[in-house]
């Protein structure tokens, strides 16, 4: 079972539009409503693959009830921690050329009692989990060290931890030695405090995160591919994608693919790349099913192209 933890979930509305013109009336050509949040998306991708997943998340108000209903409809077991504030609602505008504009609400502020209940709930369910994926930003009220507490308690229970967050929350959690962290290029750059211009720069940054405590780093480099850096070395994975329809949740789908395939080594990286490539070709935040994957289009190599200039360098 893969347990996911989403401290700041959302109800996501995605509108497909021809183009985004400020000050104009824009008529959407398509729309979706999905349960949102990085951990929620990981659960959705795991469930789409036919694997059991339990989503732990704080839910409140009418939007929270809709999120729970949508997750149940996708075969996901939901363990809700009831909170007084309403679950946030986010909006995404997906243009026909692949450009995505997102408006993310801040979400409710959790009380001290709600924070402790969330932590205890995660610990209670971690005993049955093969992997725990802790993902996303922390809501108001939670200290940056909250993820570090989750990692420490999970390790005490024998579970492995995958962490996908950024900023101070990531740096604090590294000291608790998560089994794998999954930054994108921008988050990786922020963590080490310098720009990334090449794949080699990203490898060096990932190695620094390992020195800070991460046992493995799965780094998404957008259109350039993905890196896996662990104690045995580094691998680079990529896949050709014809058309990008939406990149919402693509990184979360990649993490799900990595964990589904065992969460270690080049085979897991290949699964991560295949899931991410499939996700960007689907509308909104739709998660890929096994029939959407094209493993034959994925290349994974230990000969990392360190001199390759990133198509989207991070400054």
Instruction: Say yes or no to pLDDT of 263 above 80.
Output: yes
pLDDT tens per residue, range 28-87: 999 988 899 999 999 999 999 999 999 999 999 999 999 999 999 999 999 999 999 999
pTM of the predicted model as reported, rounded to 2 decimal places:
0.91
Per-residue pLDDT at 306: 96
The whole-angstrom separation of Cα 68 and Cα 78 is 7
pLDDT tens per residue, range 81-109: 999 999 999 998 988 887 889 899 999 99
Task: Residue 99: name the closest of 221, 188, 17 by CA.
Answer: 17
Element (H, E) at 265: helix 265-279
Question: Average pLDDT in the 289-301 region?
Answer: 94
CA angle 296, 301, 305 (to 5 degrees): 120
Per-residue pLDDT at 315: 65
Share of residues in the chain with pLDDT > 70 (%)? 99
Task: Residue 164: name the closest of 266, 271, 254 by CA.
Answer: 254
Question: Average pLDDT in the 234-245 region?
Answer: 90
Instruction: Say yes or no to pLDDT of 286 above 90.
Output: no
Three-state DSSP at 57 gives strand
Look up tokens 């960007």; give the residue. 280
Q: Which of 164, 252, 292, 307 is catalytic?
A: 252
Which residues are CB-neighbours of 155 under 8 A, at least 6 positions away? 161, 176, 177
Per-residue pLDDT at 138: 94
Beta bridge partners of 17: 95
Confidence of residue 271 (pLDDT cuts 50, 70, 90): very high
Question: Average pLDDT in the 210-234 region?
Answer: 96
Per-residue pLDDT at 312: 81
Average pLDDT value over all residues in the chain: 93
Q: What is the separation of C-alpha 198 from the centre of its chain, rounded to a whole number of angstroms?
A: 23
Is 252 part of the annotated catalytic residue set?
A: yes
DSSP secondary structure letter of residue 129: -
Which residues are CB-neighbours of 275 under 8 A, at least 6 positions away? 45, 253, 254, 256, 257, 258, 260, 288, 293
10 Å Cβ neighbour count for 216?
A: 23
Sheet with 100-103: list strands edge to edge. 30-36, 10-17, 88-95, 100-103
CB distance 203 to 234 below 8 Å: yes
Which homologous superfamily is 2-314 in?
Answer: Ribokinase (3.40.1190.20)
């Amino acid at each position: 079972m893969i347990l996911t933890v989403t401290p700041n979930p959302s109800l996501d509305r995605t509108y497909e539009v021809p183009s985004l013109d400020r000050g104009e009336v824009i008529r959407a050509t398509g729309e979706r409503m999905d349960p949102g949040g990085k951990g929620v998306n990981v659960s959705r991708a795991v469930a789409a693959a036919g694997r059991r997943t339990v989503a732990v998340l704080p839910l409140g108000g009418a939007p929270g009830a809709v999120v729970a209903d949508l997750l149940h409809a996708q075969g996901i077991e939901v363990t809700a921690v009831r909170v007084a504030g309403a679950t946030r609602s986010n909006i995404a505008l997906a243009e026909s050329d692949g450009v995505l504009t997102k408006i993310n609400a801040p979400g409710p502020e959790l009380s001290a009692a709600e924070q402790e209940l969330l932590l205890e709930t995660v610990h209670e369910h971690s005993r049955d989990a093969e992997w725990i994926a802790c993902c996303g930003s922390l809501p108001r009220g939670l200290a940056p060290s909250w993820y570090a507490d989750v990692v420490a308690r999970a390790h005490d229970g024998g579970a492995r931890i995958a962490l996908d967050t950024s900023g101070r929350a990531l740096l604090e959690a590294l000291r608790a030695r998560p089994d794998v962290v999954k930054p994108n290029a921008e988050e990786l750059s922020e963590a080490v405090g310098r720009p990334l211009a090449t794949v080699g720069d990203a490898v060096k940054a990932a190695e620094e995160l390992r020195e800070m405590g991460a046992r493995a780093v799965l780094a998404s480099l957008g259109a350039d591919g993905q890196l896996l850096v662990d104690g045995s070395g580094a691998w680079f994975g990529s896949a050709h994608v014809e058309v990008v329809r939406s990149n919402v949740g693509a990184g979360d789908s990649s993490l799900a693919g990595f964990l589904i395939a065992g969460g270690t080594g080049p085979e897991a990286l290949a699964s991560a790349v295949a899931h991410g490539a499939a996700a960007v070709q689907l509308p909104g935040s739709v998660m890929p099913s096994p029939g959407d994957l094209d493993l034959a289009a994925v290349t994974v190599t230990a000969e990392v192209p360190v001199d390759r200039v990133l198509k989207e360098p991070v400054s």
